[in-house]
Amino acid sequence: MQEDEYTLIKNVQTGRTRDYEILVKRYQGAVYNLLLKMLYRPEAAEELTQEVFIKAYENLGSFNYKSRFFSWIYRMAINTAISYRKKEKRYVHPDKLPDMKDNQTEATIMVNERDKLLKHAISLLKENYSAVIMLKYYEALSYEEIAEVLEIPEKKVRSRLYDARRMLQIHLEKSDYFK
Amino acid sequence: MSTISENIHRLINKKIDGELTEAEARRFDDLLSDDEKVRTYYRQMEMLDHSLQEAGKEKETADVSREVMEYVQQTGPDKKQSGKVRMQKRFLPPGQTVLRYAAVLIIGLLIGAASILFLRPETVFVDEGDMRATMTARSGQSLNIRQEDWHLQINPMVMNEAVILIASLQSESDLEVHMSFNPDIYQLVRTKSLKGDIERLPASNAGSVAFPATGDVMFQLVMNQRSGMTGPVQVSLLQDNRTIYQSEIFID
C-alpha cells in the first residue's frame, strides 16, 4: 500500500494528475468522518474535506516520503479543524445536536443522552487530548500511526490517551454517566 | 475516584489496551480482588472504552472527489514547466536559504518590537442593543461593552493553568454581576476588590460568583483551570433580578 501510494504521489508530481483521484477516493471517507466528529457540522466537514485535499494537492511538492500519505493528510485535517474551530467558533455543541427521530423509544433516548454526555465531555478536552481520542477510537489507528500523524513519540501518545481517559472518566462520573 | 494512584491508573489503561505483561496481570488481579475502589474505577474505564469504541463505529460518507479533481484539472499540470505539476515548494541553494532565514528572523524581531511598543489590546466591542457577545480570551484581548447607563470591561489573562479575569463596571443604577463556569474545569481561587466595595470571596468549588455592583467598581477573579480541559465563563449583568446582558468568554 505504502509503495503504491508513493508511486501515485510521484505520478501526480510528474504530471499524471488523474492519479490523485485514487488517493482522494481512498481517504475522503476517513477525513470526512474525522472532521465531522471534531466539528459536529456535516456541511462544514464536507467543505473542509474538500479544502484539505486541495491543500494537500497544492503542497504535494513538500511531501517528503518519510511518512505515509494517510498520516500526512490526517495531520492536515486535524490542523484544519482546529483552525476552523478557533476562527469560526461555529461548531455545534453536542447538547444542541438535533435528535435523529421523533418516534424514539425510551431506550433510544437514553442511549442518545449518554451519547451526548460523552460527546460533550470530549468537546471539553483540549485539542491535543481530543485528537488522540479521535484517532484511536474513531479512526482505529494504532499507537504507532497516531504518533506518526501527530508527530510525537509513541510514549507521549500513550500518556495523552491515559490522561484523556482519566479526564473523561472524572467528568462523566460527575454527570452520572456510569449509573 | 481521585484516590486512584498514577500507577494503578496506568495499569488499568494497559489492561484495557491488552498490553499487560504476566507480572502486571497478576498484580492487576490482586488489586482488583482487594480493592473496591479499583474495581469501580476499572469498571468505569472499561465502560468508557466500550462507549468510545461504539461511537467510533458510526461512519458517515461524503464524496468530494469530483470537486477536488475539477480543481486539480483547472490548476495542474502546468505545461510550461516541462509537463510537471506546479508545486508550491521552491528549493533554494543553501546560501539563499540562510539569507531567507535571516530576513525572516529580522522581520520577526521588528514585528515583535513594534507590537510591544505600539499595539494595544484587541478589543471586542458589542453593538448597541446587542445584548449577547462571545469572545475568546487570549493574551491582550478585552471585552468592552458600553451602554447608555453602564460600561463593562473584562480583561482576561490566561496563564499556564490559571485564569485571571479583571472586570470593571461603571453603572448609574444598582446592578449585579454574575459569573458562572463549569466547576469540573475551573476552581475559584479567590476574588479581590480592586476598586469600590466588593466582598472578597475565598476559594470554592461552586461554579458561580455574584456581586452587587453600583458606581465605579473593579474586581479580580482568579481561577485554576484543570489541566487539558477548557470551557466558557458566562458573564451576566442583572438589574432587579432581570438579566440585561450576557456574554461568554472562551478560555483559549
- pLDDT in the model for residue B215: 80
CA distance B5 to A136: 24
Contact residues, chain A, for B227 at CB < 8 Å: 163
Confidence of residue A38 (pLDDT cuts 50, 70, 90): confident
A107: Cα within 13 Å, side-chain hemisphere: 0
State whether the Cα torsion B203-B204-B208-B209 is positive or negative: negative
Q: Does residue A86 surpass a pLDDT of 90? A: no
Calpha distance A126→B151 (Å, rounded): 33
Q: Render pLDDT for A63-79 as a digit per residue (tens, 0 to 9).
A: 888 888 999 999 999 99
Which has the higher per-residue pLDDT, A17 or B224? A17
Q: How many CB pairs under 8 A join A and B?
A: 147
Residue A120 burial by Cβ neighbours in a 10 Å radius (0-12, 13-18, 19+) = middle
How far is residue A29's CA from residue B189's CA, in Å, rounded to a whole number?
46
Query: In the structure grid, which three cell numbers stand for residue A149, read together?
Result: 500523524
Comparing A37 with A105, the larger pLDDT belongs to A37
- Note the pTM of the prediction, 2 decimals: 0.56
ipTM of the complex: 0.82
CB atoms B49 and A166 under 8 Å? no
Question: B83 and A14 in contact by Cβ < 8 A?
Answer: yes
* Residue A80 confidence (pLDDT): 92
Q: Please state the separation of Cα B204 from the chain's center in Å.
A: 21
Task: Judge whether A24 is closer than 8 Å to chain B, CB to CB.
Answer: yes
Return the pLDDT at B102. 76
Q: How many CB atoms lie within 10 A of CB A138?
A: 22
- Report angle CA B33, A155, A121 to the nearest 5 degrees: 70
Helices (H), chain B: 6-16, 22-34, 36-57, 65-75, 94-118
Would the CB atoms of A59 and B53 count as touching at under 8 Å? Answer: no
CA distance B151 to B133: 14
> Grid coordinates in use for A161?
490517551
Please, what is the average pLDDT of chain A?
85
pLDDT at res. B84 = 39
CB contact under 8 A, B59 and A58: no
Q: Please, which residues 45-84 of chain A have a Cβ atom closer than 8 Å to chain B?
A: 45-46, 49-50, 53-54, 57-62
- What is the number of alpha carbons within 13 Å of residue B117 lying toward its C-beta? 6
Name the grid cell of B8: 494503578
In order along its 252 residues, chain B shows pLDDT tens digits of 457 888 999 999 999 999 999 999 999 999 999 999 999 999 999 999 999 998 888 778 889 998 899 888 887 654 333 333 333 333 344 455 566 667 777 877 777 666 555 544 455 554 444 556 666 655 456 777 777 778 787 877 776 667 777 788 888 788 888 888 888 788 887 777 777 777 767 667 778 888 777 788 887 788 887 777 777 788 888 888 778 777 777 766
3-class state of residue B234 by DSSP: strand
